[in-house]
Structure 1
């Protein structure tokens, strides 16, 4: 065994895991930057490795292929979003209207709704029909958030038929998705603050009937 290999083998397991986790995060963050700069089609293991300041062999070691790397990049992007809205739910308290407004605020928060983040969303969403792994990840995360919205709306519209609850939740999702698209395609036309205020106003208007 070489001296280098011996040194690597002698590292404590936790240190090796921490180093591996750091490399993975480094590559995933670099992949996001590459997607923003080059798009999905022109993002390769080479562009990501260069962005991360690592060798292409390191990228291959951790993710095996471009598809493997991009699939995990989308998963990490969704996880950041999920962590944001779940944290908003935890701090909102039990009132369903407060919880719904907190969820909407998370959608347009500076942590989630940036030009860079939106460019990544739309790059991947445009490829879902051609890459089953992307579609599977999107369905799983979208289902969790959809279930949360419907649960809040069910509490908010206590006693309402399921069809009304589902329709109310669908309207909210459709409006926020539409605002994300406008912010992505026409960023100078509106602001995050405007989108948040408009969505809140729509919810209150619907509740007044």
Structure 2
């Protein structure tokens, strides 16, 4: 049988590559649609328009709007996790440096730009009513909190104190994201970084490394 380079007879690897590209294209279009239209008004049709594809292509790869939205949520969490893990990998062995790197990563434009925050808050508003979203968020959030608490254990004595410190720092980052989202003209990522250093200097006054930072 002849094996040409078009249609269903293309090599399997090429077909998979093209399929992966289409899925990525549709997920990116879903994120753009959420920014433009919000979660409720994002549909297969709005996503297809954003992607420059037919609605049938969106249905073929994801079947439903819910399938697209779930894939989009996984993708923003995947990027968020890759962001903080890369920051940790580059931070070196000192606990102070790793703690600052992990928390600083929350203020990188890849994860807290205006568009990114619009997507985050759109999904977070649905966590209580959409079990799938809640499960995805819990899975990714647990890994980050475990990493944060592990570093805190190196800086304070006792699991309870480490857990409490990690909770405070996590809550600070969440709260500052809210400032960035609601009042973008008054607060920026650099303000968040400065406030973070001030908080660390007060919570861990015996760690001069935090007070010495710019």
Query: Partner residue of 2:60?
Result: 61
The TM-score, its normalising length taken from structure 2, stands at 0.92
Query: Partner residue of 1:177?
Result: 174
Q: Which runs of 4+ in 1 moved over 3 A?
A: none
Residue-by-residue CA offset, 1:37-77 (whole Å, 9 max, x unaligned): 00000000000001100011111111110011101100001
Residue-by-residue CA offset, 1:67-114 (whole Å, 9 max, x unaligned): 111011000010011101100011101111100111111100121110
The TM-score, its normalising length taken from structure 1, stands at 0.94
In 2: Cα distance, 1:34 partner to 1:140 partner: 25
In 1: Cα distance, 2:109 partner to 2:189 partner: 8
Equivalenced residue count is 203
Q: How much does 1:6 deviate? A: 8.5
Query: Partner residue of 1:191?
Result: 188
Residue-by-residue CA offset, 1:10-51 (whole Å, 9 max, x unaligned): 211111111011000100000000000000000000000011
Q: Work out whether 1:80 is the aligned partner of 2:79.
A: yes
Query: Partner residue of 1:37?
Result: 36
In 1: Cα distance, 2:12 partner to 2:21 partner: 14
Query: Partner residue of 1:165?
Result: 162
Query: Partner residue of 1:27?
Result: 26
Counterpart contact for 2:5–2:11, Cα < 8 Å: no
Structure 1 unaligned regions, length at least 5: none
In 1: Cα distance, 2:5 partner to 2:171 partner: 56
Residue-by-residue CA offset, 1:141-187 (whole Å, 9 max, x unaligned): 00010000001111122xx1211111100010000100000110111
Query: Partner residue of 1:99?
Result: 98
Partner residue of 1:204 out of 191, 201, 204: 201
